[in-house]
């Protein structure tokens, strides 16, 4: 099965560690891709499981690592996701029960994609929890590759204002999400897997994909800088970093905006192609770290995966 990974953007909203995570792997059952967005903690002390990262960041990474192990054996399903969460729940409760209020347990958005060959094309199966995203477009026209773009400035991030009635309402909603599964987010509790959605789609030929966290969706939905189709087009040309630069520039120029609860958010985006073989292997995927962004770039055409290869962000 031919897979080409083109670019990965991983940008925290502040100078602290990102609460997004991702992974992909090619196995005998197909190509697996997942993105996880840890929900910002409302706790006064958000780093309780370990001191070097917030509980949402730990949860996103731990969930990503659990999925990476699970898909070695079979595609992810709600039942297999629940099995991953059982281990995470037991670990978190053993360390944090009694020290962390229930409303402060971590939760996350998740999108998982599984591609497998189907006749002349591919079958795509997906699981969605909350507001990560994935866009699939045709790849019949050859992709172009253009030179790099300037790195983005660090986002002007301000912590959430949890004072007064607004803060109380947010805490009450968070408790309902965790205790009663009152949203589509995935929590540390295995029963939350019943809140997600599943879907299947037949792709009639090669396809391009982008998948990421809702921080990138602000480009279109909240800031009006363009459409998600624009981002897909930039990704096809190896230029998706341009979208992040524009997004962070808008946030710096409008640092007091109230279009979202948070003035900036972590951004994650993975782009690639199904049914396309690149000339370079995974070892050619180059990691570049700068203030405000970690970027994995590939040679023109992307990098191809061999059976068993993959990459994921873990704890």
Distance CA 312, CA 35 (A): 10
Q: Examine the pLDDT at 143 and tell me if it is beyond 70.
A: no
φ/ψ (deg, to 5) at 100: -125, 130
Distance CA 37, CA 57 (A): 8
Distance CA 108, CA 37 (A): 5
Could you tell me which residue, 143 or 238, shows the higher pLDDT? Answer: 238
Which residue spans within 55-132 are E strands per DSSP?
107-118, 121-129
pLDDT > 70: percent of the chain = 95
Distance CA 128, CA 196 (A): 6
Q: Examine the pLDDT at 157 and tell me if it is beyond 90.
A: no
What pTM does this model have? 0.95
Residue 258 has what pLDDT?
A: 87
Which domains does the chain show, CATH number per domain? 3-312 (3.60.40.10)
Helix then strand then coil, in percent of the chain rounded to 5, is: 30, 30, 40
φ/ψ (deg, to 5) at 116: -140, 150
Distance CA 275, CA 260 (A): 37
Residue 261 has what pLDDT?
A: 85
pLDDT tens by residue, 88-131: 999 999 999 999 999 999 999 999 999 999 998 999 999 999 99
Residue 192 has what pLDDT?
A: 98
Q: Examine the pLDDT at 269 and tell me if it is beyond 60.
A: yes
Residue 144 has what pLDDT?
A: 57
Residue 148 has what pLDDT?
A: 56
Q: Examine the pLDDT at 158 and tell me if it is beyond 90.
A: no
Q: Which of 41, 4, 60 is nearest to 314 (CA)?
A: 60
Which residue spans within the chain are E strands per DSSP?
3-11, 20-27, 30-38, 107-118, 121-129, 133-138, 186-187, 197-203, 207-212, 267-274, 280-281, 286-290, 293-297, 303-304, 310-312
Number of H helices, E strands in the chain: 6, 15
Contacts for 189-194: CB closer than 8 Å, 24+ residues apart: 189/85, 189/89, 190/82, 190/83, 190/85, 190/86, 190/89, 191/82, 192/85, 192/107, 192/129, 193/78, 193/79, 193/81, 193/82, 193/85, 194/78
pLDDT tens by residue, 52-102: 999 999 999 999 999 999 999 999 999 999 999 999 999 999 999 999 999
Task: Report the DSSP pairing between strands 186-187 and 197-203.
Answer: unpaired
Pair 221, 250: CB distance under 8 Å: no
Residue 140 has what pLDDT?
A: 64
H or E element in which residue 90 lies: helix 78-96
pLDDT tens by residue, 180-220: 999 999 999 999 999 999 999 999 989 999 999 999 999 99
Distance CA 39, CA 55 (A): 9
Among 36-50, 139-153, 155-169, the minimum mean pLDDT is found in 139-153
Could you tell me which residue, 141 or 306, shows the higher pLDDT? Answer: 306
Residue 50's SS3 state is coil
Confidence of residue 145 (pLDDT cuts 50, 70, 90): low
Confidence of residue 153 (pLDDT cuts 50, 70, 90): low
Residues 6 or more apart from 111 whose CB is under 8 A from it?
A: 34, 35, 126, 127, 128, 129, 132, 133, 134, 211
Residue 266's SS3 state is coil
What average pLDDT does the segment 132-145 reach?
A: 77
Could you tell me which residue, 155 or 216, shows the higher pLDDT? Answer: 216
Can you give the C-alpha Rg of the chain in angstroms?
19
Distance CA 8, CA 30 (A): 20
């Amino acid at each position: 099965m031919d897979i080409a990974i083109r670019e990965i953007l991983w940008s925290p909203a502040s100078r602290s560690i990102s609460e997004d995570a991702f992974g992909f792997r090619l196995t005998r059952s197909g190509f697996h891709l997942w993105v996880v967005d840890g929900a910002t903690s409302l706790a006064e002390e958000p780093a309780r499981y370990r001191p070097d990262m917030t509980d949402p960041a730990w949860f996103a990474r731990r969930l990503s690592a659990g999925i990476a192990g699970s898909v070695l054996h079979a595609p992810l399903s709600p039942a297999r996701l629940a099995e991953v969460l059982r281990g995470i729940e037991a670990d978190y409760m053993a360390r944090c029960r009694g020290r962390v209020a229930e409303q402060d347990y971590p939760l996350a958005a998740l999108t998982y994609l599984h591609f497998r060959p189907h006749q002349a094309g591919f079958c795509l199966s997906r699981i969605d929890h909350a507001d990560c995203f994935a866009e699939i477009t045709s790849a019949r026209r050859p992709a172009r590759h253009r030179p790099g773009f300037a790195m983005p400035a660090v986002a002007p991030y301000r912590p959430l204002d949890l004072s007064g009635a607004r803060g109380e309402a947010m805490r009450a909603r968070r408790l309902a999400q965790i205790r009663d599964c009152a949203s589509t987010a995935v929590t540390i509790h295995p029963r939350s897997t019943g809140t997600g959605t599943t879907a299947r789609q037949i792709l009639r030929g090669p396809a391009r994909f982008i998948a990421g966290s809702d921080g990138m969706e602000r480009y279109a939905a909240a800031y009006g800088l363009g459409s998600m189709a624009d981002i897909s087009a930039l990704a096809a040309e190896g230029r998706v970093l341009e979208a992040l630069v524009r997004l962070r520039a808008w946030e710096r120029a409008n640092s007091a905006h109230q279009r979202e609860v948070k003035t900036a958010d972590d951004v994650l985006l993975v782009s690639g192609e199904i049914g396309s073989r690149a000339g370079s292997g995974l070892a050619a995927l180059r990691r570049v770290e700068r203030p405000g962004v970690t970027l994995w770039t590939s040679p023109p055409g992307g990098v191809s995966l061999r059976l068993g290869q993959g990459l994921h962000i873990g704890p």
